[in-house]
Amino acid sequence: EVVINRIAAGEVIQRPSNALKELLENSLDAGSSNILVVVKSGGMKLLQIQDDGTGIRKDDLPIVCERFTTSKLEKFEDLQRIGTYGFRGEALASISHVAHLTIVTKTEDSPCAFRAEYSDGKLKQYPDHVVQNPKPCAGKQGTLIIVEDLFYNMETRRRALKSVAEEHNKIVDVVTKYAVHNAKVGFSLKKAGETMTEIRTPSRSSVLDNIKLLYGAAIARELVEIRCDDKTTGFTLNGYVSNANYSTKKLTFLLFINHRLVDSSGLRKSIESVYYNYLPKGSHPYVYLSIDIDPRNVDVNVHPTKHEVTFLHEDMIITSITNSVENVLLGSNH
Ligand code: ADP
Ligand code: MG
């Protein structure tokens, strides 16, 4: 059974950046204002996320890594969110099956923090009962998640990973995109043992300021705000796209649907095709889109790790968004 669970876990968590994405979501869901990520060897040796959110109650520690355990089904709004979040209560469980997982956490009303170690979905059992698990310790409010030696027990997954540098770049990309979208939250990223931070955004920033900080002033200068409120299909869109004066060799595409980083190749291709008429050959735009849509209209059946979504009225929504982009380009073309 452990092996089957492990294979299933390896499907949910395919590389360090997948795990990090889930952990960032959890920290954001916990209402954090600051999130610090520390990595070693592209996240393969160590992936550590410290937040200042609500923390996890001591009584919940024995079950948080059990499959389908979630505290997020109580409110109606959360229930609705399942649509886009695809799978619930599987992230910590999956990680505990394919890595060494430690959680240090403290809620506001707890006198101390607790440190808990997990293996295969459960708290680690120490036969002599000398070691306490969870164990009381010092700590401030929030949660520290430590993921060590990812895929130590899954040779195939480990071999499928790219180089340390490439895995690290994927991590930088995920943190960067979440930092842009969640501008009110301060994000930091650094490599273990190094003092220099690679990414640092202030809390209570704005999307545009964070784009400037993370992607550069040259991009930020050429961005145009895009908004769309479509009553018939029931979606709203906010974002920034580059105008006809800006182009790079590589497309930058940030798509958040209901605050989750996803991909929609249909939408991506349609937007790119609008720019073909305005940009020099071989050039690409910068696109940041945040779409809010009734989660009941977003397809849940898409595999979670692919982050590819499909939605109801997809053609209409894509047309409506590409029209807005086209208008922006017409307006900025000089
Ligand atoms: P889900 O996010 O779908 O509920 P997860 O496996 O990602 O499932 O997390 C399980 C549960 O652990 C969450 O529902 C939440 O109660 C708790 N949890 C995980 N990470 C954090 C965190 N950083 N802060 C507070 N609670 C957390
Ligand atoms: Mg989660």
> 251 and 116 in one domain?
no
Residues pairing with 158 in the sheet: none
| Closest C-alpha to ligand 1, atom 21 | 26
**Domain assignment of residue 308, yes or no:** yes
170, 200, 230: which is the final residue of a domain? Answer: 200
Weakest mean pLDDT among 18-22, 86-90, 111-115? 86-90
Using the mean position of ligand 2's atoms as its centre, give its distance from the Cα of residue 277 in Å: 41
Best residue among 21, 58, 64 to mutate for probing ligand 1's pocket (most ligand atoms within 8 Å of CB) is 64
Contact 103, 50 (CB under 8 A): no
> 101 and 167 in one domain?
yes
Q: Which ligand is in closest contact with the Cα of 68? A: 1
User: What pLDDT does residue 310 have?
Assistant: 76
**Domain assignment of residue 205, yes or no:** no
22-39 burial, b at 16+ Cβ within 10 Å, e below that, comes to: bbbbbbbbbebebbbbbb
> 23 and 166 in one domain?
yes
Q: Give φ, ψ of 36 to 5 degrees.
A: -115, 125
**Domain assignment of residue 246, yes or no:** yes
> 122 and 41 in one domain?
yes
Q: Which residue has the higher pLDDT, 332 or 201?
A: 201
**Assigned token pair, 35:** 């999130």
**Domain assignment of residue 170, yes or no:** yes
Contact 149, 99 (CB under 8 A): yes
> 273 and 240 in one domain?
yes
| Closest C-alpha to ligand 1, atom 4 | 70
> 246 and 160 in one domain?
no
Residue indicated by tokens 């696109």: 287
> 161 and 276 in one domain?
no
Using the mean position of ligand 2's atoms as its centre, give its distance from the Cα of residue 81 in Å: 12
User: What pLDDT does residue 86 have?
Assistant: 46
- C-alpha–C-alpha distance, residues 42 and 303, integer Å: 24
ipTM of predicted complex: 0.99
HSE-CB for 135 with a 13 A CA cutoff: 13
Q: Which ligand is in closest contact with the Cα of 93? A: 1
> 91 and 170 in one domain?
yes
- Axis crossing angle, helix 164-181 with helix 16-29, rounded to the nearest 10: 20
Kindly list the protein residues whose Cβ atom lies closer than 6 A to any atom of ligand 1: 22, 26-27, 30, 51, 53-56, 64, 69-72, 88-93, 143
Q: Is the peptide bond before 134 cis (omega within 30 degrees of 0)?
A: yes
> 170 and 30 in one domain?
yes
The percent of residues above 90 in pLDDT, for the chain, comes to 71
Which domain CATH number covers 300?
Answer: 3.30.230.10
| Closest C-alpha to ligand 1, atom 12 | 64
Q: Is the pLDDT of residue 30 over 90?
A: yes
**Assigned token pair, 223:** 């961005």
Q: Please count the structural domains in the chain.
A: 2
> 193 and 236 in one domain?
no
166, 200, 234: which is the final residue of a domain? Answer: 200
**Tens-place pLDDT, residues 91-127:** 999 999 999 999 999 999 999 999 999 999 999 998 8
200, 225, 251: which is the final residue of a domain? Answer: 200
Which domain CATH number covers 69?
Answer: 3.30.565.10
Q: Which ligand is in closest contact with the Cα of 92? A: 1
| Closest C-alpha to ligand 1, atom 16 | 71
**Tens-place pLDDT, residues 290-323:** 999 887 777 644 555 557 777 778 888 899 999 9
**Domain assignment of residue 270, yes or no:** yes
Best residue among 21, 24, 26, 60 to mutate for probing ligand 1's pocket (most ligand atoms within 8 Å of CB) is 26
> 297 and 259 in one domain?
yes
User: What pLDDT does residue 76 have?
Assistant: 45
Residues pairing with 231 in the sheet: none
Residue ranges making up the domain that contains 237:
216-332
Ligand 1 nearest atom to the CA of residue 27, by list position = 23
The length of the chain is 334
Best residue among 58, 71, 103, 118 to mutate for probing ligand 1's pocket (most ligand atoms within 8 Å of CB) is 71
Contact 305, 12 (CB under 8 A): yes
Q: Is the pLDDT of residue 13 over 60?
A: yes
Using the mean position of ligand 2's atoms as its centre, give its distance from the Cα of residue 323 in Å: 34
Q: Which ligand is in closest contact with the Cα of 81? A: 1
> 221 and 188 in one domain?
no
**Assigned token pair, 5:** 């669970």
